[in-house]
Homo-oligomer: A and B are copies of this chain.
């Protein structure tokens, strides 16, 4: 038996009062529809067809390779969507066909697998029990437990309204039964659409599969539901990492993409965002208030009150507080990017330090060098970028401007306040400075003051 899955991501409610298609809003860094597709894939089902609305190239582009997408050009309803999906799939007479809502990001692969395993007969309806069933289709079961009807709110009497088991727009169908029933659907209803629930009506009595945790079936139709789903997914992801030995002071404000990798012994302080392909080694401490995107942080490093993007941070490196590490940066073992330090597309060697108030861009720094406060690599001449090369054990004085392209040799020293425009030989001191002059009694004549300072 082959299992084929159809994900319904078109139809009504494809926007949430903003421009981005609903199912492309991300939760923990992954689009809503991506979560649904991943749950199906993780359940071992590889034949997946996603029905998308027109003008949704972005949705199709967000799907993993091998997932089929079909555009529903008209507002034809869930029945119509399923029908055009079947047309794309071909013959399903001997298959099981899952139809799953595309806006339920919390749906798990375990539930997908359990639904398939529980499926019997012409159809199995996914149901769950909710605290407040108002608005949902209620599940009416017979004495022996089979689902005899899904009753819409408007058709429900008081007894039926009191039922808290509801239908979740997700089903397993016998392929032949589904293919036979779909063409019989009419559009003689208020919206003029073909409803998949009517197929269930035709095939009833059917099996019902009750999902224990109703939150798993949360559909996202508005930004407040999206935020609720994000919070539930955050709790789920963080619980898994904590159970794997990661310390979090406050998981409620720890934001991890689903794609992040952590070793046990990692410590995450509040307000940490780890995104994309980021990984963190054991014993590293990240946060508070730190954003790390597509970067590696080595074991034993400390990164706090900082923003790190596209960087490779070695072991026992110190970053921050208040550092911005930009793409293409490598901070090697034991190095430091301290306070009010920005580093971009540079390689900082082992044990080298950039402790304060510096901008380092397009530079290569050797080992055990030290850049004084206020060091700036002047890498841009208004037309193109140039590289700065600093050797080992170099001592750059405070407020040194390194006008690239320029090279400072091993063991060299620069004087504070110097503008270095020519290469410095190994072991040399380079200095660019005038004589200090003193005008006595200046304070008394301060009316003529022409020096100033920022305030």
Chain A interfacial positions (CB closer than 8 Å to B): 16-20, 25, 222-224, 226-227, 230-231, 238-239, 242-253, 255, 264-265, 270-271, 273, 282-283, 288-289, 291, 304-305, 307, 321-322, 324, 339-340, 342, 353, 355-359, 361, 370-374, 376-383, 385-386, 393, 395-399, 401, 403-404, 411-422, 424-444, 446, 449-455
Contact = CB atoms under 8 A, between A and B. Distances in A.
B381 A416 contact: no
Given A342-B340, A439-B429, A245 B17 contact: yes
A261 to B, nearest CB: 15
Contacts of A224: 238-239, 242-243, 251
Contacts of A418: 417, 436
A374 B372 contact: no
B421 A455 contact: no
Contacts of A223: 242-243, 245-248
B18 A453 contact: no
A453 B25 contact: no
A224 to B, nearest CB: 4
The 10 tightest CB contacts between A and B, nearest first, are A372-B453, A17-B245, A429-B442, A373-B454, A223-B242, A417-B419, A378-B452, A411-B443, A427-B443, A381-B452
Number of copies: 3
9 contacts: A20-B265, A224-B239, A231-B252, A322-B324, A378-B454, A398-B453, A431-B451, A433-B434, A434-B434
B454 A379 contact: yes
A289 B322 CA distance: 12
Nearest to A230: B249
A378 B397 contact: yes
Most chain B CB inside 10 Å of its own CB: which residue of A399, A411, A431? A399
A428 to B, nearest CB: 5
Contacts of A16: 245
Contacts of A248: 223, 227
